[in-house]
Chain A
Amino acid sequence: MVKTHAAPLSPYSTAPHRSHVETHTLSVLVDNEPGVLARVVGLFSGRGYNIESLTVAEVAHERHLSRITIVTSGTPETIEQIRHQLERLVPVNSVKDLTLTVRAIERELAMIKVRGRGENRVEAMNLAEAFRAKVIDATVESFIFELTGNPQKIDDFVDLMRPLGLVEVSRTGVAAISRGPEPI
């Protein structure tokens, strides 16, 4: 016969450590070579991590470096694991968790198309001024606004445009940099 053994004499209660979900911005400096973005994105999908936004562009042409800025969410343990997994990728030069390490400035650019006539059109224009959005295209029945700011500011502006004839939005995702004289 097979039998199970009695419960241990000592009670053990290391409850699984469930901490809250946080949003972090990671700045990843990579060699600008073919497939590097696929490696980073594949890592996120393969291991089940979230990507809330992702931007990438070359930042130092002569050194072939690109910066990928990723906004991700997860428990602090997951985010630490994401950082280590990114560091394992061969073309990754460095990974910085901007939310943890420095006071970072985050900016995003959005282009917002609004369609309307009459009062709605005037109201949209007034709000755009208040948000310091620029008009970059106009017809008699539409505007395209260009707005730069942190993601929350853009969310707020888009919400305000919705009842006034919002057609569509195109956003870049977050780019971030640390304050002060030191590099990231």
Chain B
Amino acid sequence: MAKQMTGAEMVVEAFKDQGVEYVFGYPGGAVLPIYDAFFMQDKVRHILVRQEGGAAHAAEGYARSSGKVGVLLVTSGPGATNAITGLTDALMDSIPLVCITGQVPTHLIGSDAFQECDTTGITRSCTKHNYLVRRIEDLPRILHEAFYIASHGRPGPVVVDIPKDVQFATGAYTFQRNIQHKTYRPQLKGDLEHIKRAVAMMAEAKRPIFYTGGGVINSGPHAATLLRELVRATGFPITSTLMGLGAYPASDKQWLGMLGMHGSYEANHAMHDCDLMICVGARFDDRITGRVDAFSPKSKKIHIDIDPSSINKTIKVEVPIIGDCAHVLEDMVRLWRGGQRADAAALEKWWEAINGWRARDSFGFRNSTQIIKPQHAVRRLYELTKGRDLYITTEVGQHQMWAAQHFHFEEPNRWMTSGGLGTMGYGLPAAIGAQLAHPNSLVIDIAGEGSIQMNIQEMSTAMQYRLPVKIFILNNQYLGMVRQWQELLHGNRYSETYMESLPDFVKLAEAYGAHGIRCSNPGDLDDAIKEMIDTPKAVIFDCMVDQKENCFPMIPSGKAHNEMILNELGDDAGVDLGAIIDEKGKMLV
């Protein structure tokens, strides 16, 4: 049924029809008509952020924790450019976003008008797709297409740039469920012949491993269920990328922990020595592969991905399967159950080798009674929140890797972190988005004192909407990960990595009307964490940790999976990281 309405009303109407609960945004001249349309209804709630970058990350946190499309609304010019980092972040991590940007009226486009920028030009390379809507007739179709493209196939951000005159114009609004896009039709079902070949290879494998990624999470909870079935039915070991944590329960004995640059010793060695790699929804990122020409040299590789351009991009695979993880896994489970059996004797030997690597306890560290070790802080946070309905976000840096190593996830969609782009300042707004999606859950942003200051203004948003997010800062007064690299590459010259003049985070929390806690004594840590959990409003927890601690294990750049460096227990003095990495590796990051 076509209804007559203005372009601005169409935007809000399309949100309703798409089931949007929350829109994260910030008003401005070029979106005033849409904000007026918001004012006239109460179905879609607008969350006023403090900077547009916060809106994008909040929409990401909402999307990733709920499996729905995240929506943001920003004005032209600086509104749009401030959102760019979040859009790029969503593109890299395949998060479905729809971003509505205001634009100057069509007759002023190209005239360098006030708050004008070439939004579609600027966002072309950081979105999955974008539109400039020049005619009111096109607006309803484009709005719904945007949601379709953002959420179908490999998810990603879509920008719809709407000039102000189009927002004022009146036209006929229509909505069709289940639109068929003219050209964009991602393939969901995998090629059955390839899947059969893959399953046959799995039955013959002597040293197999599952290597899974964010694609399993994006495919939905059903994909994670099917993955669990397949992994358990085969008895194979499984590891995952940073983005894929939670798809497989960390408490399971077949779980090897995260792989990659700061992954576990057993996961990386198993990847290196395997004879069959089953990659499900991961993309052989450089943080995963290490040295490409030494990456898993003895294995045949199966790669399941919905994006054909991910196949053979960096690593050549024997069996590509293009399709949605859940669809392909369903076929695999069925075929495996249809009479395939793993080579039990070979598998037993394989597990023996893996258990040998596991015995190295690569995430181990020497604890202290004098000073809080950051790993210990994360472990205590994990233990004291275990069993709760919990969502974790992070910022980017050492704390992020410690969280990935020492916090453990049993379910998908519980872990939100900026993986591909590595955006400092992601965690707090993402926590706000996750808390809105799950109002009764505990949402914790594990942060660093550097990252948290990148979007600290969003504390004000959390307070306005009474969101009880907890910010757990591992405060080492250094940009720790950068410092770690300076030790590796630049002779311990700590150029600009010491954070002087840090704010008093407890007072800062109080200034926002939140609760502040500081802890620097390991003996007080548990009680302080409990206090944080029990506080019914937002908390900034300033956890003063060992300043010198570095993040291990680690694959230095230019090295292979089996050339990890470990944090040897019992001696934490004078580590000469600079001697480990060669000249060629120093050119890499």
**Chain A residues with a Cβ under 8 A of chain B:** 1-5, 8, 10, 12-17, 31, 34-35, 38-39, 42, 46, 77, 80-81, 84-85, 87-93
Contacts and interface: CB of A to CB of B under 8 A. Distances in A.
B577 interface: yes
B29 interface: no
Given A34-B132, A84-B309, A93-B183, A42 B580 contact: no
Nearest to A30: B183
Contacts, number: 79
B183 A46 contact: no
Interface stretch (B118-126, B514-522, B535-543): B118-126
B129 interface: yes
B251 to A, nearest CB: 28
A57 to B, nearest CB: 19
Interface stretch (B65-73, B289-297, B328-336, B393-401): B289-297
- The 6 A-B residue pairs with the shortest CB-CB distance, nearest first, are A12-B297, A84-B309, A90-B129, A16-B293, A14-B297, A84-B308
Nearest to A29: B183
A13 B294 CA distance: 7
B562 interface: yes
A2 to B, nearest CB: 5
B299 to A, nearest CB: 10
Contacts of B149: 90
B272 interface: yes
Given A2-B567, A12-B298, A87-B309, 20 more contacts: A1-B568, A1-B575, A2-B552, A3-B565, A3-B568, A4-B565, A5-B563, A12-B297, A14-B294, A14-B295, A34-B132, A35-B120, A35-B121, A35-B124, A39-B124, A42-B124, A81-B312, A88-B308, A90-B129, A90-B183
Interface string B43-76: 0000000000000000000000000000000000
22 contacts: A1-B568, A1-B575, A2-B566, A2-B575, A2-B577, A4-B563, A4-B565, A8-B272, A12-B297, A14-B297, A15-B293, A16-B292, A31-B182, A46-B125, A77-B316, A81-B313, A84-B308, A87-B309, A88-B309, A90-B129, A90-B149, A93-B183
Contact of B562 (A8, A31, A92): A8
Interface of B: 120-121, 124-125, 128-129, 132, 134, 149, 181-184, 272-273, 292-295, 297-298, 307-309, 311-313, 316, 552, 560, 562-568, 571, 575-577, 580
Contacts of A42: 124-125
A85 B149 CA distance: 16
B293 A91 contact: no
Given A77-B312, A81-B309, A90 B128 contact: yes
B216 to A, nearest CB: 21
Contacts of A91: 183
A16 B297 CA distance: 11
A91 B567 CA distance: 50
B564 A90 contact: no
Contact of A90 (B121, B184, B272, B316): B184
A80 B308 CA distance: 10
Contacts of B298: 10, 12
A102 to B, nearest CB: 21
Nearest to A12: B297
A74 to B, nearest CB: 13
Contacts of B577: 2
Contacts of B292: 16
Given A42-B125, A46-B125, A2 B565 contact: yes
B183 A2 contact: no
B533 to A, nearest CB: 35
Given A5-B564, A10-B298, A35-B132, A92 B183 contact: yes
Nearest to B292: A16
